[in-house]
Amino acid sequence: MDSCVTNPSGAATFPQQIDSALLARFAAIVGPRNAITAPVETAPYLSEERGLYHGSSPLVLRPGALDEVAAILRLANETRTPIVPQGGNTGLVGGQTPLHGEIVLSLKRLDRIREVDATSNTMTCEAGVILVRAQEAAAAAGRLFPLSLGAEGSCTIGGNLSTNAGGTGALAYGVARDLVLGLEVVLADGRVLNVLNKLKKDNTGYDLRNLFIGAEGTLGIITAAVLKLFPRPRSVETAFIGVPSPRAALDLLNMVQERTGGAATTCELIKRIAIEFAVKHGPDCRDPLSAPHPWYVLLELSSSEDHGLRAALEDALAAGAEAGLVADAAVAESLSQRQNFWRLRELLPELQKPEGGSIKHDVSVPLAHVPEFLAEADAAVEALVPGARPVPFGHLGDGNIHYNITQPVGADRAAYLARWTDVNAAVHAVVKKYGGSISAEHGIGVMKRKLLPEVKDPVALDLMRTLKRTLDPKGILNPGKVL
């Protein structure tokens, strides 16, 4: 008996109960040790870290090889059994959660780094490789893999590519999509697409890899990738800077880039209230500067030269101060101080929790409009929920702002979070006004699926549905996500 059916759009309806005989056929593919059914063992796969989404699944499969993934999808396609692929389970929009009793396909055991080729500046690794392991493997070969984000100790390469992760290095190196040369993908029918090459130049037809990067496992399951590597910088300088406004921060970034020949690799914007939350709630978190400032910039420069970068940074900061863009700054004097600067930034999402409910937005706008977006979004939120506390921070260098809004002091958490949809609509209206995106780096998943038709070009959306029907005609891959 079929486990799910499809509607005319090609998306699966939600599955009926999967019978025990079919579950046994799936389990036989990976063996009893890697077919998990006990509730206490499946629990970590069924909810995400923020607790917004809780799912259920009769079976978690943990394949350890490409042929096992292919066999699972062949059987799933034959029996119309829905599958939810999962990497490190660090996603923030519910894309990795089995919300309707689907089988979970965990890729964590596909964790081999197949090759590091320093001459070609490439690394070939499987989907289950933890991001920090990929970074370490590149470093051991004297190279840099520049994708970096807060969850890098637990997120996986497959998940990073499936969501087209951004992170802190996008200013200089681009997002995940920009760091991929080739892919290995298992299609819905179990066939293996092998475009796993190291070539920068390959004009032999359509660029198929980009169909699957950012598709959140709805078109195929990424099992391996060829990643781009870069020479490791010989010098890095990091500064925490107090600035009067987002406009000043943006002007400072442009000044630094002009004076250093584009040496800035990271530029993070942080509002004062975020620092206050960190100092109040974070273990061993200290105010980075001697006096408070309305806004801060965490700026990092990198160079292939051994000397001269510190002087270039100090020169740029002095010019910024003369222009009224810099009120104060601390340049890291040691690796420990640099790590403390970054620890403060990376703890910001977590340290909002003690202040109550937080309505979150992962948005991007063109760089030139970041200041206007922040001002108008603040006004829109205040009009809707008086006393709500915007806590924006994010990647100024690429226009990606995590516009999180903490509940008013003393407000009821549940009542505040019940306004999530209304607040989203107000913020997204400002994003749309400035030609921005409602999902900069977290993806669509479940959280933003219903919003997509409101913001996506109708022709683009129609093409997306056509691709889904073509590559997954039975609707078995991550049903109910994205589309």
Model confidence pLDDT, tens digit, residues 375-389? 999 999 999 999 999
Average pLDDT of the segment spanning 159-176? 92
- The span from the CA of 346 to the CA of 348, in Å, is 6
> What pLDDT sits at residue 7?
46
* Model confidence band, residue 3 (pLDDT cutoffs 50, 70, 90): low
* Model confidence band, residue 93 (pLDDT cutoffs 50, 70, 90): confident
Question: Residue 117, Cβ neighbours under 10 Å: how many?
Answer: 14
**To 10 degrees, what angle do helices 309-322 and 246-260 make?**
140
Looking up tokens 């590559």 gives 471
- The span from the CA of 365 to the CA of 363, in Å, is 7
**pTM reported for the whole predicted model:** 0.90
Q: Catalogue the long-range contacts made by 203-208 (C-beta closer than 8 Å, 24 or more residues apart).
A: 208/183
* Model confidence band, residue 47 (pLDDT cutoffs 50, 70, 90): confident
Average pLDDT of the segment spanning 168-179? 93
**Size of the chain, expressed as the number of residues it contains:** 483
